[in-house]
Chain A
Amino acid sequence: MQMPEPVYILAVYDRQYRVFRKLIGSALVSNVANPILFLFAFGFGMGAFIDTMGGVSYLTFVVAGMVGYSAAFAASFETSIGAFTRYFLQKNWDAILSTPVTLAELLLGEVLWAAVKALFSAVCVLIVGWLWGGIPDIFGPLIALPIVFLGSICFACAGLAATSYAKGYEFFAYFFTFWVTPMFVFCGVFFEISRFPDAVQYMTWVFPMTHLVAAIRPLIAGTELDPIAILLHTGYIILFGVAAFAVAHRKLRQRLYD
């Protein structure tokens, strides 16, 4: 096993970045328009019925959740359907593995790019949320961004683990139904998980998304901080990501080499 070297990881990252740059228009539109739609719908629609949640205005509550979710969705999509297309359909990975780039470097490059793209998404939501008046203080969110980035790495690794087992695009129906959608509805994005029965609450803590939202919401919404809790949540996110990466690397080693 050769140690991964940054120059090769960045070569993979760079290719992704260049493709993205060509599509910057549509990327900006979707990353800015999407949160606007959500904030509009939930901020006005639900906000009319709910004054406060978790001790802050519903808009503030939702902005914090949406920052996490937009990152989670972007990272998950990039390393699942996006990476699978490069691997399975376009055979980009075959081409790359015929060069000095190793499998670990290829996968790390994929993850790094997906996380940067996810962070870009999250920043767009933050800016929209801030302009909308949903962010009381600008310093907390800046501290939250590194945690969002770690979360994005974790989601990217999880997406890659799904890709490593996918035999066709149909497989991602399971990934989105049982992984991405629950992150959206059960992990505290739109309401506090304390509303669920205990059993469901325990379940939701399995998802790194719940930990991410729990870690960044106090920072973004400006509520009381518990640094130990934030560290523990971040620790869980890191461990989950490392485990998912190990699964993905192991399985893809079996599939791409014989």
Chain B
Amino acid sequence: MEAAAVIKATGLVKKYGELEAVKGIDFAVPPGQCFGLLGPNGAGKSTTMRMIMGLSDVTAGTLEVFGKPAKNMPRNIKAKIGLVPQETNLDPDISVLENLAAFGRYFALSKTVIAERVPKLLEFMQLADKKYAPVNALSGGMKRRLIVARALIGDPEMVILDEPTTGLDPQARVLIWKQLLALKKQGRTLLLTTHYMDEAQRLCDQIVIIDDGRILDQGTPQELIDRHVKGYVFEVQKPCLAKSPAERWDQEDIGDSILYFVHQTADFISDLPEDAVYLHRPANLEDVFLRLTGRKLREN
């Protein structure tokens, strides 16, 4: 039997007046997994996360967090969740160390527990030599690391991460990935949103792709890749395209070239003309994401 889901959404709807931001979604986050919520800007990810945190009322459907409705979340449930918000909202008036200690007090931890956890967390996110620094003196990467450390002060069973590595250099991203995997190993549930598909592919056990308030598909990264973009991608420049009729290959016109999604590379290469110019690579989650959500810009 499967263990009870940490988060369970059934027909979840959120309306802001006339605008329907989340249009009836169903998903369940199993304990101890990293669950990815992916989607373009405005897809409804942040709204869903706010509902999970109890900061936004559910319009219709049900949303349960640790088996209790998210609305009027009891304090003991809230204490099991650590949030890494998208926006850097560290306390700029106090030091790195004090930020963690203050958060410990918001979780009603005793002085001894705070004194014991803070150095460990600083070590975990490699901030120990910055502990007396004012927050404003930290680089962007250090600030994000501190926010992750801060989310862990309450020893949460679930950590919610809203774009944890946006704007970070590769070194900082790698460190955060490594530590997130360590958190998963400790048995914590992770709920992650990100715009970096490599990040989702690397970290997530399960992924839900949402757009325009609806779930487009869900599964493991590999399932999604198999289902939507097969195993390999060939980007073939026009006009020297595959010789077989269009029905033979799963393809997508992206302007100057055509993308072919294929299971076997040898068959396809033999179908290309001698002078074809192409790039060839294994299909990844980014291909899935773009296929499902389209290539149009979302900011307009």
Contacts and interface: CB of A to CB of B under 8 A. Distances in A.
A100 interface: yes
Contact of B106 (A101, A257, A258): A101
Contacts of A11: 102, 105-106, 108
Chain A interface secondary structure, helix, strand, loop or mixed?
helix
A96 interface: yes
Interface string A1-37: 1100101101110110011001000000000000000
A258 B56 contact: yes
A14 B98 CA distance: 11
Contacts of A92: 89, 91
A94 B89 contact: yes
A127 B79 CA distance: 45
A91 interface: yes
A51 to B, nearest CB: 48
A257 B75 contact: no
A97 B89 CA distance: 12
A19 B94 contact: yes
Contacts of A91: 87, 89
> Quick one: which of A95, A96, A257 has the most chain B CB within 10 A?
A95
Interface in A210-258: 256-258
B149 to A, nearest CB: 13
* Residues of B in contact with A, size category: 20 to 34
A11 B102 CA distance: 7
Interface in A66-124: 90-92, 94-102
B243 interface: no
A258 B16 contact: yes
A94 B87 contact: yes
A9 to B, nearest CB: 11
A10 B111 CA distance: 13
Nearest to A91: B89
A15 B91 contact: yes
A12 B103 CA distance: 10
A88 to B, nearest CB: 12
B154 interface: yes
B89 A19 contact: no
> Quick one: which of B83, B93, B103 has the most chain A CB within 10 A?
B93
Contacts of A5: 108
Interface string B44-87: 00000010010111000000000000001011001101010101
B96 to A, nearest CB: 14
Contacts of A90: 89, 91-93
B84 to A, nearest CB: 9
B90 A95 contact: yes
B107 interface: yes
A95 B87 CA distance: 10
B90 A100 contact: no
B105 A14 contact: yes
13 contacts: A19-B93, A90-B92, A94-B87, A94-B89, A95-B91, A98-B85, A99-B78, A99-B103, A99-B106, A100-B78, A100-B79, A100-B107, A257-B57
Interface of A: 1-2, 5, 7-8, 10-12, 14-15, 18-19, 22, 90-92, 94-102, 256-258
Given A2-B72, A19-B94, A98-B53, 17 more contacts: A1-B72, A5-B108, A8-B106, A10-B105, A11-B106, A14-B102, A14-B105, A18-B94, A90-B91, A90-B93, A94-B89, A95-B91, A100-B79, A100-B107, A258-B16, A258-B55, A258-B57
| Nearest 7 CB-CB pairings of A with B | A91-B89, A11-B105, A99-B106, A98-B83, A95-B89, A19-B93, A100-B78
